[in-house]
């Protein structure tokens, strides 16, 4: 099987010999050769790098070079290519020399045969490759040994050092040649080489670890950790000693180096600004300093950089004082300063400084924490607290904050007012006073909000309060405060009372006429049985009067509901005041008769007609006259109407009790009654006002005082002339 | 002859009361149309029973009731009272019950009313509960 083609350079100046070699190579059955022929050495060597021959056949006697020199030149130029030398029989001495000088083989021309030539070439190639591989491996191994951080010593059984590495020289302070001339006992002092059995007998093949002490060239000693093993090499007993320096100096140097790099990386990673000043000069700044202050490291470290130039004016004095203290060797506390960055913005910092040794001289190390953001947040917090306080202060509800024992912690304005009022009027209600009430204890036990009602007098007037009490917790869920919020519900309670009264009044007003009609009916029944005409008439009269009253009351109540909505005024209507007034007097005639009152209607024709719906006008007249009747025991009721400017002025005057002056403004309020127990819904005048206002009129009530009668004046629009 | 003072501001009610007592020749009615008038009668006449309306103008019947229970000279007379009002028992919860007081709701039946009158006048014993 033919494999790779082997290319052969033949350098031979005799053509006959050259042809002979070519013929021999062609005879090969198993290997194919490619022969390139040269007559001189140098043209051949020039082609080597280009054609990359596998082997060279070299005749030593050439035109441009003679003898062993030819080989030397070739080996020097192409050390990696195997060379086989062709010689004459007589040159045996030269042939042997050729092998020493780097040739793989030699062939004597006279004995040359095809198989011999072929075998020689093949072997030459194979041997050269092995040689190269071996050399490479040794080179790599040597490299490895040299670079080891441990010192290596190889010595024979007599202690003569035969091989060492670079670290061995470095650790002991000898040169390589000096060390190679020494024996191991000059260096390694731990083992007694003279009295103890030879090391060879003690150590095994497997490395053992023992402590040792090495001596440097200057005589100083240092501890080492030794790994010793033995091996045989070409019948020679060799001991390998691997020494690691374990002295503290080494350790300290190592630690220092490590700590320095640790410090640096830590410092660079730190969120704080870290710097070192020595002799007033910045000698170190970390990355944060550059980022926060806007200066580059170079700017900081330049000799023209003045550290105090980046301090805000208000901080300069304090910082200089503390700097002086440091110079005197004193320590200083952490202080808040303001610095200025390159852009001139203020940077709030807390700076703590410390004296330290830096490169052998005293220096100040400063660590600054940027609190600008924290400051801003603090300010915002203060502002928001202020807002909150203002809110609480001005809350219309009284807010009491008390501690766990019930003592006041915070009272807002309203709460203080309440306390003053309560103190002046008598006593502070239990739920608002200091100390713990039953309710307070319950709240603390249940940890829940409770709402209670309190009533107390404020400057003589009863006030009702709804007090919401709840516990205030801290982050851990512990109760720290008790908060009471006190809401004035007097108005609400009053309104509820009014509502209750209204329901009672309305039901009274509706029930009364029904009751009367019922009893009139019973009476009529009995009268019919007895055949008493007089009684039948009486009962009929009672029924009809109460029917009327019922009608009026229902109207008033319906009106009240209309009041809640919007009253609609129908245009183009007209009613006669006189007619309506007469009707009302007739309806209420029995009451007038009972009290023996006089009535008078005085209305000129020109003002009689007003543009009001008759039902509305009736409501006004009925309510005002009914009112007048209620409060008049003697005298009379007088109705007059006059033209006043562009309005009709209607007056209903009575000679009754009049109205207390303090109540004059209240009479038109819905549900106003002089006395809660009085009959009526309290709606009458209120309804009147609504109606009059809807017609763009006005109503007012005047009284000369109690017992001096009342005048209700109603101003109504005039009838349009068209 | 017993004298019953009727205090009511509604003229119609007086007609009803007259009809109610029409067949009772043993009872004489004294009519007062206001609290003021009632007090006037109480001051000068012997009254055995008062029938009192509550919601009245201009002075409420409650005022008279207070007078009757608080005024020493009147209280000593121990005059029984029937409060006759559309409010009834429910509407007059705040009034303290006593053996001299009965509350009757309008409209009332004549016979039931007369029974109450007789009980308070001592003509019949009240039924035991």
Can you tell me the mean pLDDT for A359-376? 83
Across A218-296, the runs of DSSP E, i.e. the strands, are 221-233, 236-245, 273-278, 281-285
Closest CA to A314 of A285, A294, A339, A289: A339
Using a CB-CB cut-off of 8 Å, the residues of chain B touching A541 are 12
pLDDT in tens, A182-219: 888 888 877 777 777 777 777 776 778 888 888 888 88
Give the integer Cα–Cα distance in Å for A145 and A150: 9
Question: Average model confidence (pLDDT) for chain A?
Answer: 84
Q: What percent of chain A has pLDDT over 70?
A: 95
Q: Are A229 and A204 in contact (CB under 8 A)?
A: yes
Indicate yes or no: CB of A514 within 8 angstroms of CB of B107: yes
**Residue-level pLDDT at A679:** 55
Q: Which of the residues A511, A550, A597, A656 would you substitute to probe the B interface, choosing the one with the greatest number of B C-beta atoms within 10 Å?
A: A511
Find all residues with CB under 8 Å of A272, minimum gap 6, and list them: A288, A367, A368, A369, A370
- In chain A the first and final C-alpha atoms are separated, in Å, by 143
ipTM: 0.86
Report the 10 Å Cβ neighbour count for B110. 17
Determine the average pLDDT of the residues in A520-541: 92
pLDDT band at B48 (very low <50, low <70, confident <90, very high): very high
Pairing outcome for strands B2-7 and A598-602: unpaired
In this predicted structure, what is the pLDDT of residue A156?
Answer: 86
User: Which residue of chain A comes nearest to B12, CA vs CA?
Assistant: A542
Q: Is the pLDDT of residue A563 over 70?
A: no
Q: Would the pLDDT of A2 be above 50?
A: no
A337, A375 in Cβ contact below 8 A? no
For residue A638, the model assigns a pLDDT of 93
pLDDT tens readout for residues A297-319: 888 888 888 888 888 888 888 88
Task: Tell whether the model's pLDDT for residue B14 goes beyond 90.
Answer: yes
A590 contacts on B by Cβ (under 8 Å): 11-12
Question: Lowest-pLDDT range, A282-291, A366-375, A478-487, A492-501?
Answer: A492-501
Taking only the tens place, the pLDDT of each residue in A683-708 is 778 888 888 888 888 998 888 877 88
Show residues of chain A in contact with B16, CB under 8 Å: 516, 519-520, 523, 542
Structure token digits, residue A416:
């203080």
Q: What φ, ψ does residue B31 adopt, rounded to 5°?
A: -100, 130
What is d(CA A399, CA A607) in angstroms, rounded to the nearest whole number? Answer: 61
Cα gap A123→A105, rounded to integer Å? 9
Query: Nearest Cβ partner of B56 from A507, A594, A679?
Result: A679
Q: What is the mean pLDDT of residues A251-264?
A: 76
Q: Does A481 have pLDDT greater than 80?
A: yes
Question: How much is the average pLDDT of A418-446?
Answer: 82
Suggest the residue from A505, A507, A519, A632 to mutate for an interface test with chain B (most B CBs closer than 10 A): A519
Taking 50 as the threshold, does the pLDDT of residue A1 lie above it? no
Taking alpha carbons only, the member of A173, A391, A353 closest to residue A277 is: A353
Give the residue from chain A lying closest to B15, CA to CA: A538
- Residue A365: which H helix or E strand, with range? strand A361-370
- Whether the pLDDT of residue B112 is over 60: the answer is yes
- Pull the structure tokens for residue A45: 């060597």
Rounded distance, CA A516 to CA B107, Å? Answer: 7
A565: pLDDT strictly greater than 60: no
Residues in chain B within 8 Å Cβ distance of A540: none
What is the pLDDT at residue A527?
92
Distance to chain A for B87, nearest Cα, Å: 7
State which H helix or E strand residue A458 sits in.
strand A450-458
pLDDT at residue A678 greater than cutoff 60: no
Q: How many CB atoms lie within 10 A of CB B70?
A: 9
- Does the pLDDT value for residue A262 go beyond 60? yes
Please determine, for residue A675, whether its predicted confidence score (pLDDT) is greater than 60: no
Residue from B81, B119, B75 nearest B103 by CA: B81
Report the residue count for chain B.
129
Closest chain B residue by Cα to residue A520: B16
pLDDT value at residue B128: 52
CB contact under 8 A, B57 and A630: yes
pLDDT tens readout for residues A135-169: 888 888 888 888 888 888 888 888 888 888 888 88
∠A74-A79-A84 over CA atoms, to 5°?
60
pTM for the whole thing?
0.43
More confident residue, A456 or A237: A237
Tell me the C-alpha to C-alpha distance, in Å, between residue A183 and each of A159, A186, A191, A228, B123.
5, 6, 13, 16, 154
More confident residue, B22 or A498: B22
End-to-end CA distance of chain B: 30
CB contact under 8 A, B19 and A514: no
Q: How far does CA A526 lie from the centroid of its chain?
A: 92
Share of chain B above pLDDT 70, in %: 97
Scanning every residue of chain B, which has its alpha carbon at the shortest distance from the alpha carbon of A541?
Answer: B12
Q: Which residues of chain A neighbour B86 with C-beta distances below 8 Å?
A: 507-508, 511-512, 515
Stretch A596-601: mean pLDDT: 91
> Are B108 and A519 within 8 A, CB to CB?
yes
Q: Which residue of A has its CA nearest to B62?
A: A677
Between β-strands A221-233 and A208-215, what pairing exists: parallel, antiparallel or unpaired?
A: antiparallel
pLDDT of B129 above 90: no
Q: Tell me whether residues B58 and A657 touch, CB distance under 8 A.
A: yes
Q: Measure B105 CA to nearest chain A CA, in Å.
A: 9
pLDDT-derived band at A371 (thresholds 50, 70, 90) equals confident
Q: Judge: B13–A516 Cβ closer than 8 Å, yes or no.
A: yes
- Residues in B whose CB is inside 8 Å of some CB of A read 9-13, 15-16, 19, 33-34, 54-63, 86-87, 91, 106-110
Least confident residue range of A73-82, A248-257, A491-500, A527-536: A248-257
State the DSSP string of A535-589. Answer: HHHHHHHHHHHHHHHHHHHHHHHHHHHHHHS-PPPPSS--EEHHHHHHHHHHHTH
The answer to whether A527 contacts B19, with C-beta atoms less than 8 Å apart, is yes
- In the beta sheet, which residues pair with residue A227? A209, A242
H or E segment at A519?
helix A490-530
- Cα separation values, A547 from A512, A616, A691, Å: 11, 20, 24
């Amino acid at each position: 099987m033919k494999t790779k083609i082997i290319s052969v350079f033949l350098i031979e100046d005799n053509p006959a010999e050259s042809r002979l070699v070519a013929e021999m190579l062609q005879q090969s059955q198993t290997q194919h050769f490619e022969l390139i022929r040269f007559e001189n050495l140098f043209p051949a060597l020039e082609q080597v790098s280009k054609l990359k021959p596998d082997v060279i056949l070299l005749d030593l006697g050439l035109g441009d070079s003679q003898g062993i020199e030819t080989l030397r030149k070739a080996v020097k130029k192409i050390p990696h290519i195997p060379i086989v030398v062709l010689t004459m029989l007589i040159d045996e001495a030269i042939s042997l020399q050729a092998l020493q000088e780097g040739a793989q083989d030699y062939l004597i021309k006279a004995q040359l045969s095809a198989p011999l030539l072929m075998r020689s070439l093949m072997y030459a190639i194979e041997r050269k490759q092995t040689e190269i591989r071996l050399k490479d491996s040794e080179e790599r191994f040597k490299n490895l040994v040299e670079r080891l951080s441990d010192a290596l010593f190889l010595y024979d059984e007599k202690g003569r050092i035969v091989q060492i590495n670079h670290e061995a020289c470095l650790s002991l302070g000898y040169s390589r040649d000096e060390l190679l001339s020494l024996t191991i006992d000059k260096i390694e002092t731990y083992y007694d080489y003279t009295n103890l059995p030879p090391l060879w007998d003690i150590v095994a093949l497997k490395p053992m670890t023992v402590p040792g002490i090495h001596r440097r060239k200057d005589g100083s000693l240092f501890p080492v950790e030794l790994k010793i093993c033995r091996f045989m090499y070409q019948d020679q007993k060799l001991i390998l000693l691997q020494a690691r320096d374990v002295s503290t100096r080494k350790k300290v140097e190592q630690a220092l180096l490590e700590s320095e790099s640790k410090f640096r990386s830590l410092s660079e990673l730190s969120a704080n600004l870290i710097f070192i000043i020595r002799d007033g000069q910045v000698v170190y700044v970390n990355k944060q300093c550059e980022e926060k202050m806007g200066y580059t490291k170079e700017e900081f470290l330049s000799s023209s950089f003045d550290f105090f130039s980046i301090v805000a004016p208000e901080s300069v004095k304090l910082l200089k004082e503390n700097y002086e203290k440091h110079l005197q060797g004193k320590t200083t506390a952490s202080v808040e300063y303001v610095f200025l960055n390159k852009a001139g913005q203020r940077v709030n910092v807390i700076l703590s400084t410390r004296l330290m040794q830096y490169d052998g001289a005293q220096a100040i190390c400063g660590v600054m924490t940027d609190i600008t953001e924290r400051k801003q947040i603090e300010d915002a917090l203060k502002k928001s607290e202020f807002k909150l306080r203002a809110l609480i202060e001005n809350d219309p509800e009284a807010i009491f904050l008390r501690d766990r024992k019930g003592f006041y912690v915070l009272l807002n304005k309203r709460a203080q007012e309440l306390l003053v009022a309560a103190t002046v009027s008598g006593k502070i209600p239990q739920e608002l006073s200091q100390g713990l009430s039953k309710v307070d204890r319950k709240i603390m036990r249940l940890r829940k909000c409770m709402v209670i009602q309190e009533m107390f007098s404020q400057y003589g007037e009863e006030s009702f309060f709804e007090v919401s009490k709840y516990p205030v917790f801290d982050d851990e869920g512990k109760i720290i405060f008790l908060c009471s919020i006190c809401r004035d519900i007097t108005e609400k309670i009053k309104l509820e009372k009014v509502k209750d009264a209204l329901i009672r009044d309305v039901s009274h007003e509706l029930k009364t006429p029904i009751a009367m009609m019922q009893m009139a009916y019973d009476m009529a029944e009995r009268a019919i049985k007895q055949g008493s005409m007089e009684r039948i008439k009486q009962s009929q009269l009672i029924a009809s009067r109460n029917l009327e009253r019922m009608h009026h009351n229902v109207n008033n109540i319906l009106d009240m509901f209309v009041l809640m909505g919007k009253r609609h005024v129908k245009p183009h209507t007209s009613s006669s005041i006189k007619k309506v007034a007469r009707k009302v007097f007739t309806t209420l005639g029995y009451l007038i008769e009972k009290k023996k009152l006089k009535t008078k209607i005085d209305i000129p024709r020109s003002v009689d007609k007003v543009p009001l719906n008759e039902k509305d006008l009736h409501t006004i007249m009925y309510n005002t006259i009914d009112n007048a009747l209620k409060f008049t025991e003697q005298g009379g009721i007088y109705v007059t109407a006059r033209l006043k400017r562009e309005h009709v002025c209607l007056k209903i005057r009575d000679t009754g009790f009049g109205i207390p002056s303090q109540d004059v403004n209240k009479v038109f309020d819905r549900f106003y009654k002089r006395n809660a127990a009085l009959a009526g819904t309290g709606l009458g005048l209120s309804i009147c006002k609504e109606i009059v206002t809807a017609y763009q009129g006005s109503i007012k009530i005047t009284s000369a005082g109690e017992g001096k009668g009342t005048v209700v004046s109603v101003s109504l629009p005039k009838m349009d002339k068209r | 002859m017993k004298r019953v003072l009727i205090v009511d501001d509604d003229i119609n009610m007086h007609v009803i009361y007259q009809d109610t007592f029409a067949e009772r020749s043993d009872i004489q009615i004294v009519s007062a149309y206001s609290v003021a008038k009632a007090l006037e009668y109480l001051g000068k006449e012997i009254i055995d029973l008062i029938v009192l309306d509550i919601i009245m103008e201009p002075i409420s019947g409650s005022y008279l009731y207070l007078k009757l229970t608080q005024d020493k000279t009147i209280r000593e007379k121990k005059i029984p009272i029937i409060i006759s009002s559309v409010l009834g028992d429910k509407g007059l919860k705040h009034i303290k019950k006593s053996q001299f007081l009965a509350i009757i709701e309008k409209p009332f039946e004549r016979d039931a009313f007369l029974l109450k009158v007789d009980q308070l006048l001592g003509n019949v014993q009240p039924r035991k509960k």
